[in-house]
Amino acid sequence: MPVTAPQFQITLLQIDVSTQARADAMRQNHGHQHLSFEEILVWRILKRRPLIIMNSHVDRREDLYESDKQTSDLSVKHTNGVSVIIPAYNAEDKIVKTLMKVEEILDRTVQDYDIIVVNDGSKDETEKVLRSYAEADPRIKLVSYVQNVGKGHALRKGTLEADKDIIIFLDSDSEIDSDHIGAYVKALEDYDMVIASKRSPHSEYRAPIMRKILSASFNILVKLLVGIKYSDTQAGLKAFRRDAFEKIMRMGLVKRFAFDVELLALASLLKLRVAEAPVKINLNVGFSRRSIMYMLIDLLGITYRLRVLRWYQNNLNREDTKYRPIIRI
C-alpha cells in the first residue's frame, strides 16, 4: 500500500496577506470545510502543520514545513524548459481558455516552455481554432490528423515534438485546474513523476454521482487486475522528468483511455519515484458506454501482458520492443 510522503515544497505558494488572514479567521470560526484549496494550504503552512501526499516508494511520513527553506518563489530552476502536451478532441469551445490559462501559469513559473496541442481527429472546428492561435504564438505547436484514435495515441504523437527536460500531460477541456502546474514541476526536483489524484484528502473533486461511482469501480478493478496501488490513475494532469518519461513511453502500447493505467504500471515496474498530489477537478459529464467498453478492453489487455505474458517485465531493459496483439481493435 502507498504511504504518505511530502506534497509540494512550501516554496510553491505565493502567500498574500488577505488570504492568510481569511484562512486563519475562517479556520477559527468554521473549520476546513469552508476554506478554499489555497486557503487550506496557507493555513497549514502558517500553523507549521504537515501537508502530505501518497507515494509508493517512500516509507515514512515527512513534515513539509522546513523553516530554513521558506520562500514565495514559484519559479522552477535548473531545468531546460517544460513541454506541455494537450490532447484535444472536439474542444473548439474550451481549448483557447485552457491554452491562455496554461500560458499565464508557465509565464510566471518557467523561463522556457512550449505547448504541444494534438488534434485527435476532431469533427468540429478545433483544428481551425488551434491553427489561428498557433499562428499568433510561436510557443504553440500543433499536431493534427484526420482519424480519431484516442488519448494515448495523441499523447505519443505529441511527445515526438517535445524537447524539454520536463514533460506535462494536461487534458484540454478545462475540467482540471491548471494552477498546480508550477507546483508539480517544482516537485520533480524530488520525484520522477507527479500525478494528480482526485482522491487526495486535499483535492477538490466535483462530478456527477454516477461518474464518481464508475471512477471508483474502475480504480478498484485496476488495483485487483494490475496490482498498482495509486489512489487515482485517470486524472488528466501528470508531470515527468524526461529521462523517466522516455523509459515509460518506450514500452507503452495503449492508444485510448487506459493509457494512464499502463503508464503507471510501467512506472511501478521501473521503480520510479511517483508522487500523488492534490488537484481541483470539476467534471460536468459522465462516461459514454463506448468509452467504458474501450477502457475495460484496454485494461484486460494490460493485465494479459503483465500477468500472463509478462511482456512488460521481459522488455524492461530492451531498446527495441515489438508486440503483436492477438486481436486488433
Q: For the chain, list the domains and their CATH numbers.
A: 3-69 (no CATH), 82-314 (3.90.550.10)
Residue 60: the pLDDT is 28
Confidence of residue 285 (pLDDT cuts 50, 70, 90): confident
Element (H or E) spanning 276, and its range? strand 274-277
Residue 96: the pLDDT is 93
Residue 290: the pLDDT is 85
Does residue 16 have a pLDDT over 90? Answer: no
Residue 328: the pLDDT is 62
Does residue 25 have a pLDDT over 50? Answer: no
Average pLDDT, the chain: 79
Amino acid in the structure at residue 118: V
Residue 325: count of CB within 10 angstroms of its CB: 10
Residue 46: the pLDDT is 41
Euclidean distance between CA atoms 94 and 88, whole angstroms: 10
Beta-sheet pairing, 193-196 with 237-241 = antiparallel
Question: Is 22 strand, coil or helix?
Answer: helix
Confidence of residue 40 (pLDDT cuts 50, 70, 90): very low
The structure's pTM equals 0.75
Q: Which three cell numbers stand for residue 47?
A: 500553523
Confidence of residue 4 (pLDDT cuts 50, 70, 90): very low
Q: Is the dihedral of CA 270, 7, 87, 283 positive or negative?
A: positive
Beta bridge partners of 6: 52
Q: Which residue has the higher pLDDT, 272 or 17?
A: 272
Euclidean distance between CA atoms 64 and 184, whole angstroms: 15
Q: How far is CA 230 from the centre of its chain?
A: 13
Confidence of residue 22 (pLDDT cuts 50, 70, 90): very low
Does residue 52 have a pLDDT over 90? Answer: no
Beta bridge partners of 194: 239, 275
Question: Is 12 strand, coil or helix?
Answer: helix
Confidence of residue 173 (pLDDT cuts 50, 70, 90): confident
Residue 111: the pLDDT is 85
Residue 108: the pLDDT is 87
Q: Provide the b/e sequence for 198-223 (b: ≥16 CB within 10 Å).
A: bbbebbebebeeeeeebbeebbebbe
Confidence of residue 79 (pLDDT cuts 50, 70, 90): low
What's the pLDDT tens digit per position in 186-242?
899 999 999 999 999 999 999 999 999 999 999 999 999 999 989 999 999 999 999
Euclidean distance between CA atoms 177 and 98, whole angstroms: 9
Phi-psi region of 294 (alpha: psi -120 to 50; beta: other; left: phi over 0): alpha
Residue 327: the pLDDT is 63
Mean pLDDT confidence for 168-180: 83
Does residue 67 have a pLDDT over 90? Answer: no
Residue 88: the pLDDT is 96
Residue 176: the pLDDT is 79
Does residue 17 have a pLDDT over 80? Answer: no
- Contacts with 328 (C-beta within 8 Å, 6 or more apart), sequence order: none
Mean pLDDT confidence for 320-324: 80
Residue 269: the pLDDT is 96
What's the pLDDT tens digit per position in 251-277?
999 998 899 999 999 999 999 999 999
Q: Which residue has the higher pLDDT, 56 or 199?
A: 199
Confidence of residue 287 (pLDDT cuts 50, 70, 90): confident
Q: Which residue has the higher pLDDT, 27 or 143?
A: 143
